[in-house]
Amino acid sequence: MLSINQLKILISIIFLWLLAEPVHAQCPAPKAYTNPVISGFFPDPSVVRAGDDYYCVNSTFEYFPAIVISHSKDLVNWQQVGHVFSKSEDLDLSYFFDGMGIWAPDISYFNGDFYIFYCLVQLSKDRSTNVRGNYMVKSKSIYGPWSKPVQITDFGSDPSHFVDDDGEHYMLFAAGIPTGNGTKIVKLNRECTKMVEEPHWMETEGKKAAPEGPHMLEPKVEARLLQELQVQRHEKGLEIGTGSGFMAALLAHRAMQVFTLECRPALAHMARESLRRNGVVNVKVLEVSAAEGARGLPGEAPFDVILLSGSVAEVPRTLLQQLKVGGRLAAIVGELPIMRARLFTRVGDDAWSDVDLFDTVAARLEGFGEPGRFKF
């Protein structure tokens, strides 16, 4: 039998619990974002992080002012903050055809400087006119003033700026159909105002191809993942996301047999030919759809090693099930701004362990799902 005081305490607890329930129900769950996060005329986005801020640039073609700049703190809510070109004497776009002009700007940030590489394209429908070139401007502030444009090449398009660990600058760009047969990379001077070496072909054996904006993991990231996988000579491996074929070649150097999956025909062909030229005979490059690639290769399972050459929101269980007991899977997992390289090990018929290796960022692999979000 409860005493009067105990009964009062119990009633008070129940009352407070009932009072708290509506408050709890009204607390909103994290809001979901809705694509497109930047609606309207904002094609070919390129994003860079500088400190706690994100900046995005977009193609503006023949329109002026040119190369719109947007700012965000969370990659979801964006606000326009300016343009690279607002004076016609800096850039004359009046003679460009419809849809021509500035294509595919690339924004980067290094050592306190913002860099924007872009291409100017004048292309007629019958290609009787086909003029391209890659340019660079830079500024200490995202709000300008921006330097005068410097022409790096008088051919090619879709430039991408890369700075290696030693501070050396490079530009990757599409060579352009009909004269191109792949992608070129060129070393620049420290000011990024001119080439210091001739462009190097990542070629496709003379086949006409112009891969658009491909991404490749930094070699140090690939080397670390390979080291953590501890591949043995007798083992069989699977890579998802062939790209140039570089990682497949590294895996093949250590493993007995490697299968690698690629959803872009031009890249699959380029990797296949590059591996053949370099005498790598224990790799099989398979061209698949993005959805097929995300499912792995169950017909050849089980594997000792699986590597995802790109990032995913989460690793599908169907891939983990394609490991042998004792097999390892390495992937870059998470969402911007934080991703982590993670190593999974199958420790039993229905059991896996995992360990985070290091923080990094990589482009998304196509075909893999994104986590569900609450919507209100």
290 close to 347: Cβ distance less than 8 angstroms: no
Other beta carbons less than 10 A from residue 153's beta carbon? 20
Pull the structure tokens for residue 104: 């595919």
Q: Which of 323, 320, 310 is nearest to 367 (CA)?
A: 310
Separation between Cα atoms, residue 302 and residue 95, nearest integer Å: 59
Active-site residue, 349 included: no
Token pair, residue 56, equals 């995005």
Q: Annotate 249-277 with DSSP letters as a single string.
A: HHHHHHSSEEEEEES-HHHHHHHHHHHHH
Distance from C-alpha of 131 to C-alpha of 125, rounded to nearest angstrom: 12
Q: Which residues pair with 83 in a beta bridge?
A: 68
Catalytic residue at 44? yes
The residues, any chain, with a CB within 8 Å of residue 92's CB and separated by 6 or more, are none
Kind and range of the H or E element at 81? strand 78-85
Q: How far apart are CA 366 and CA 83, in angstroms?
A: 31
Are 374 and 32 within 8 A, CB to CB? Answer: yes
* Whole-number Å distance between alpha carbons of 48 and 337: 11
List the structure tokens of 279.
Answer: 């005498």
Distance CA 289, CA 248 (A): 19
- The residues, any chain, with a CB within 8 Å of residue 240's CB and separated by 6 or more, are 260, 261, 293, 294, 296, 306, 307, 308, 309, 310, 319, 365
Candidate list 164, 197, 212, 370, residue with the active-site label: 212
Positions marked catalytic: 44, 212
